[in-house]
Amino acid sequence: MFGAAHLTPSEVRGKRVIEVGSYDMNGSLRPIVSAWSPAEYVGVDITPGPGVDMIVGADDILAKFGRERFDIVLTTEMVEHVRNWRTVFSNLKNITAPNGIIILTTRSPGFFYHPHPEDFWRYTADDMRTIFSDCRIEALESDDYYPGIFVRAVNPADFKETDLSHFNLTSIITGTRILDIDEKTLADFKVRFERRRKLRKKLAALEQFFVSLGRRIIPKV
């Protein structure tokens, strides 16, 4: 696990930690990090569930907690699901204290569409170098098996935020690099996706029917 490999007990002990997108679906850093005695560990997400202490969206964490509030900011498999990615990255950086650590994992182009509840973006290593050009990147690794990217970055004491307002990102909705996703594009994609989903379901049922039919007509040897 990238996060556990790129944090140490001494970095965590006595520090304030937040996990953004903390709903535990497939495992969490929380048991590991909590065992290293942080002063505080807060898990936030948009829905209640395991690992969630407070219902707060990633768009709202800066307004909720204020600037430089946490020494360590964790977010795993979350930023591909937020439509307003610029706001979210800005919030993640600004709630991080000077010399604080950001641990982030997300998916890259080639990873399938997986709405939980939405899915918008795919990130590359070069994207992360641009997005975190206002921080010090200490680790940047790729997941080649399930296309993804992992980052450990440190918020510098003289933090001056990079302007990303004109930066295009790869969208799973369009399959291209775009600035933003408009409502019509999103609505059209969802209609096409639902049609494909229903067609796949019908084809799977039809395939199962023919398999069962074949079993009935082929005699046992």
Per-residue pLDDT of the chain (221 residues; tens, 9 = 90+): 788 899 999 999 999 999 999 998 877 899 999 999 999 999 999 999 999 999 999 999 999 999 999 999 999 999 999 999 999 999 999 999 999 999 999 999 999 999 988 999 999 999 999 999 999 999 999 998 999 999 999 999 999 999 999 999 999 999 999 999 999 999 999 998 888 878 888 877 878 877 877 665 555 44
pTM (2 d.p.): 0.89
Q: Cα 132 to the chain's mean position, in Å?
A: 15
pLDDT for the residue 216: 54
Q: Cα 51 to the chain's mean position, in Å?
A: 16
Domain 2-180: give its CATH architecture. Answer: 3-Layer(aba) Sandwich (3.40)
- CA gap 63, 88 in Å, rounded: 12
- CA gap 139, 154 in Å, rounded: 10
pLDDT for the residue 221: 40
Q: Cα 17 to the chain's mean position, in Å?
A: 17
DSSP state letters, 35-81: TT--SEEEEEESS--TT-SEE--GGGHHHHH-TT-EEEEEEES-GGG
Tokens found for residue 152: 């450990």
